[in-house]
Amino acid sequence: MNRHTGSWVAIGLLAVAPLVGLAWAIWAGAGGADGAFALATLGERLRRPAPWISLAWSTIAALVATALATMGAITIALAFRGTRAADRAARALATLPLPIPPIVVAAAAVLVLSQSGLLARLAATAGWISVPAEMPALLNVPHGTGLILALAWKELGFLSLLACTVVAGLDPELEATARTLGASARTARRRVLVPMIWRGIFPGVVAAFAFVLGSYELPALLGPTHPQPLAVAVLERARDADLAARGDAWAATLLLFAAAIAAVGWHEWSRSRA
């Protein structure tokens, strides 16, 4: 027995489910589920603009949310690295969204952010608005502000946990050395600490990005009607009364796979650099 057999078995175990999913998407996207398998069908489906518009919108929303969450996580990790009660409380609050299931985040976001939600009611109580329409629309809007905020909050839990852990493991001498060499506190932070944290959490950032790009629950409740976020478009087509439209769903699923594989590539590239 080859000494690498174990590794190959491990790789096979990990890859089998994604490969089964990928095979189905190609087969059903090419009309196999309707008894008329033809790769030309798949090509034709992928030449339509709609799924690409959805992919582009979802990618931008996921990138912006991930950027916001990353900046928030690094800021919190640096600002609250002490051992006082306030530091510990802030770290706990920042990681709170990590274990909260996306569907609960989405339901709570509707209750808080909608034009008649808790924020709007606070504004009405303060006398700033009198009817819901005066409250800026954050949900189900093409700019996706409310969705991006909710996604960023969800990601903040994971990324701040990583960032705080990286900061806790940093050599305290580093900052001191930088200061001795004449750097201001600000410069030391920007030139020394932030790059180190960034390197430490980058693979986590890629994972968080992949997670929100493919997530369904939040875009379904908070996303715009048009353009449709990709995950929402996939599920709507998959439930279409027109069976041909269901094939569109599986073809669009391939874009999700492609995005996931791109994220894996990005992840590996970042690891190989580290």
Partner 1 sequence: MRSSLIALCAVTVAACGGGTPAPRAADVAALPWDSVEALARGTTVTWRMWRGDPSINRYVDDWITPRLAACCGVTLRTAEGQGPDILQQLRLETAAGAAGTTDLAWINGETFAALQRDSLLGGPWAHRLPSAQSLDSASAIIMRDFERPTEGFEMPWGRVQFALVYDSLRTPSPPRSVSALAEWIRAHPGRFTHDQGFTGTTFLKVVLYALNGGVGTFQGGFDAATWDRTAPRLFTWLEALVPSFWREGRAYPQSVADLDRLFANGEVDFAMGNNHLGVATKVRRGTYPASARVLMLDDGMIANTHYLGIPSNATNPAGAMVVANFLLSPAAQYEKQRVEVWADGTVLDINKLDTEWQARFAALAADPLGFPDSVAARLAVPEVAAEWHDRVVSEWRRRIRGRAGE
Partner 2 sequence: MSERPRVLLLAGLTLTALLPLAALLLAAFGMRWFFPSLLPEAWTAESWRDLGGGRLLTALVESIGLGLAVGVGATALAVPIGRALARAGGGLERLGAAAAFLPVAVPPIALAAGLQLALLRLGLGGTRTAVFLGHLVPATGYLSLYFLGVFRLLDPDYEATARTLGATPRQVLQRVLAPLLARPLREALALGFLISWAQVPLTLVLGGGRVRTLAVEVVAYVQAGQDRHAATAGLLLVIPAVLALAIARRSADRTTVVMT
Backbone φ/ψ region at 29: left (φ over 0), alpha (ψ -120 to 50), beta: alpha
**93 in contact with partner 2 (CB under 8 A):** yes
**114 in contact with partner 1 (CB under 8 A):** yes
Residues 37 to 66 in contact with partner 2, rule: CB under 8 A = none
Residues 15 to 34 in contact with partner 2, rule: CB under 8 A = 15, 17-18, 20-25, 28
In the list 220, 256, 259, 263, the residue contacting partner 1 (rule: CB under 8 A) is 220
CB of 151 to partner 2, least distance (A): 13
Residues 99 to 138 in contact with partner 2, rule: CB under 8 A = 99-109, 111-112, 116-122, 124-125, 130, 132
112 binds, among partner 2, partner 1, none (CB under 5 to 8 A by kind): partner 2
Q: Considering only CA atoms, which of 230, 221, 229 is closest in space to residue 258? A: 230
CA angle, corner 46, sides to 23 and 31, nearest 5?
A: 50
Can you tell me the distance from the alpha carbon of 66 to that of 59, in angstroms, rounded to the nearest whole number? 10
**96 in contact with partner 2 (CB under 8 A):** yes
Can you tell me the distance from the alpha carbon of 94 to that of 40, in angstroms, rounded to the nearest whole number? 49
In the list 1, 40, 241, 274, the residue contacting partner 2 (rule: CB under 8 A) is 274
Q: Which is nearer to partner 1, 28 or 77 (CB)?
A: 28
Dihedral sign computed on CA atoms, order 232, 261, 268, 266:
negative
**95 in contact with partner 2 (CB under 8 A):** yes
231 binds, among partner 1, partner 2, none (CB under 5 to 8 A by kind): partner 2
Residues 224 to 263 in contact with partner 1, rule: CB under 8 A = 224-227, 238-242, 245-246
**142 in contact with partner 1 (CB under 8 A):** yes
55 class by beta-carbon count within 10 Å (0-12 exposed, 13-18 middle, 19+ buried) = buried
Residues 171 to 200 in contact with partner 2, rule: CB under 8 A = 200
Q: Which is nearer to partner 1, 155 or 248 (CB)?
A: 248
Chain positions contacting partner 1, by CB under 8 A: 33, 110, 114-116, 131-133, 137, 140-142, 220-221, 224-227, 238-242, 245-246
